[in-house]
Amino acid sequence: MSALSVESLYKVFGKGAHQAVDDLKAGVPREELPNRVTAAVIDHNWEIATGETFVVMGLSGSGKSTLIRMLNGLIEPTAGSIWIDGVDLRSLSKKGVRELRRDKVSMVFQHFALLPHRNVLENVAFGLEIRKLPGDERMDRAREAVEMVGLGDEQDKLPAQLSGGMRQRVGLARALAADTEFLLMDEAFSALDPLIRQEMQDQLLELQAKLAKTIVFITHDLNEAMKIGDRIAICDGVVKQLGTAEEILKHPADDYVADFIADVDRSRVLTAEAVMEPVGSDTETRGLETVESGVTVNDLYGTVVASDQPLLVVNEWNEPLGVVTPRAIIKSLAPETASDAQEPQRA
């Protein structure tokens, strides 16, 4: 069973929303709907495994923030189902939704949402206070979360005394202290400077390696999505393509996706395994240096292209998987158009 899934999920704003859903199901394009309605989320069908980081990305107006608010029970879908840990969210009462948000789902916001009159430790402990945990347990868990995000020396400071990156760490620590199974992150790093944003991305990856939370991460930054997502859904109302970063880069589903990914630094996403060529019966592999399958093209470029020397790609058991050649490296860095890729998208 998946940890979180949506089935035929729609959200249309405005008078006549249910009729608009019927029209969309009948094949009417979103652009031809009446002006009085706005179709934000159209026929989403996907599921997330436990411990997966699932990134939803798109431009402004693509429905990504509407989607995450439906997952958190803040917005009621117009049609469709949302299942969280086997529970149909739409079947819950208002009290049940509040309990779900309290016990199973934590939210990390773009603009921190910190209480200005409380220090770092008190802000992190606030959600546990709402849950009425005993004071000692509450503060112990808050301290552990604060240490986890590297703010142990700042725990007595007020939000106004912190940098933007530190305030975002407080928001992340508050979510971690709640120890919920699910983290919903809505443009969580978008307000940060580029260097701080990169640090937060790295920290999230480190924490996820230890904690294995089920994460839905909303972003408009494709490089960020490619860096942290196990799978990525590129949206424009509908899901244009869903897959791993490598699948999307190598096989864009249509021209919209191909244009979307045109400026991505492919060398930092694609790996040796993604660009290798098969080892044929006549391939000479003796004497070749080896490289692990997960090494990026960026790290391989100097060794393979500049030296004009192929490498043997091996798995964790040192078994040969293929060969990376200069030709394969250079070809991988050229963006592929949708017409070049006929493979079906993963869902």
Residue 316 lies in a domain: yes
Q: How many domains does the chain have?
A: 2
Q: List pLDDT tens digits, range 43-95.
A: 999 999 999 999 999 888 899 999 999 999 999 999 999 999 999 999 999 99
222 and 163 within one domain: yes
272 and 127 within one domain: no
Task: Name 290's Cβ contacts closer than 8 Å, sequence gap at least 6.
Answer: 311, 312, 313, 314, 318
Residue 42 lies in a domain: no
Instruction: Provide the pLDDT for residue 343.
Output: 46
Instruction: Provide the pLDDT for residue 337.
Output: 56
Q: List pLDDT tens digits, range 100-159.
A: 888 899 888 776 678 899 999 999 998 888 888 888 898 999 999 999 888 889 999 999
Instruction: Provide the pLDDT for residue 124.
Output: 92
255 and 239 within one domain: yes
293 and 232 within one domain: no
274 and 217 within one domain: no
On the question of pLDDT at 330 being above 70, the answer is yes
Instruction: Provide the pLDDT for residue 345.
Output: 44
- Return the higher-pLDDT residue of 263 and 284: 263
Q: List pLDDT tens digits, range 203-245.
A: 899 999 999 999 999 998 888 998 999 999 999 999 999 999 9
Amino acid identity of 188? A
Instruction: Provide the pLDDT for residue 205.
Output: 93
- Could you tell me the residue range of the domain that residue 287 belongs to? 266-332
Instruction: Provide the pLDDT for residue 120.
Output: 93
214 and 82 within one domain: yes
Instruction: Indicate the residue among 225, 260, 295 that finishes a domain.
Output: 260
Instruction: Provide the pLDDT for residue 278.
Output: 83
74 and 182 within one domain: yes
Residue 235 lies in a domain: yes
Which pair of tokens denotes residue 47?
A: 């599921």
CATH at 274: 3.90.1280.20
Instruction: Indicate the residue among 213, 242, 260 that finishes a domain.
Output: 260
Residue 67 lies in a domain: yes
281 and 239 within one domain: no
On the question of pLDDT at 342 being above 50, the answer is no
Gap between the Cα atoms of 187 and 293, Å rounded: 31
Residue 152 lies in a domain: yes
Instruction: Provide the pLDDT for residue 308.
Output: 81
186 and 316 within one domain: no
Instruction: Provide the pLDDT for residue 288.
Output: 84
247 and 121 within one domain: yes
Instruction: Provide the pLDDT for residue 338.
Output: 54
99 and 232 within one domain: yes
Instruction: Indicate the residue among 260, 279, 302 that finishes a domain.
Output: 260
- Return the higher-pLDDT residue of 199 and 1: 199
Q: Per residue, what are the HEC states of the chain?
A: CCCEEEEEEEEEECCCHHHHHHHHHCCCCHHHCCCCCEEEEEEEEEEECCCCEEEEECCCCCCHHHHHHHHCCCCCCCEEEEEECCEEHHHCCHHHHHHHHHHCEEEECCCCCCCCCCCHHHHHHHHHHHCCCCHHHHHHHHHHHHHHCCCHHHCCCCHHHCCHHHHHHHHHHHHHHCCCCEEEEECCCCCCCHHHHHHHHHHHHHHHHHHCCEEEEEECCHHHHHHHCCEEEEEECEEEEEECHHHHHHCCCCHHHHHHCCCCCHHHCCEHHHHCECCCCCCCCCCCCEEECCCEHHHHHHHHHHCCCCEEEECCCCCEEEEECHHHHHHHCCCCCHHHCCCCCCC
Residue 14 lies in a domain: no
Residue 343 lies in a domain: no
287 and 250 within one domain: no
Least confident of 47-56, 283-292, 306-315: 283-292
Q: List pLDDT tens digits, range 157-211.
A: 999 999 888 888 898 899 888 888 999 998 888 877 888 888 889 989 999 999 9
On the question of pLDDT at 285 being above 90, the answer is no
On the question of pLDDT at 36 being above 50, the answer is yes
On the question of pLDDT at 340 being above 60, the answer is no
CATH at 218: 3.40.50.300
Average pLDDT of 311-326? Answer: 88
Residue 183 lies in a domain: yes
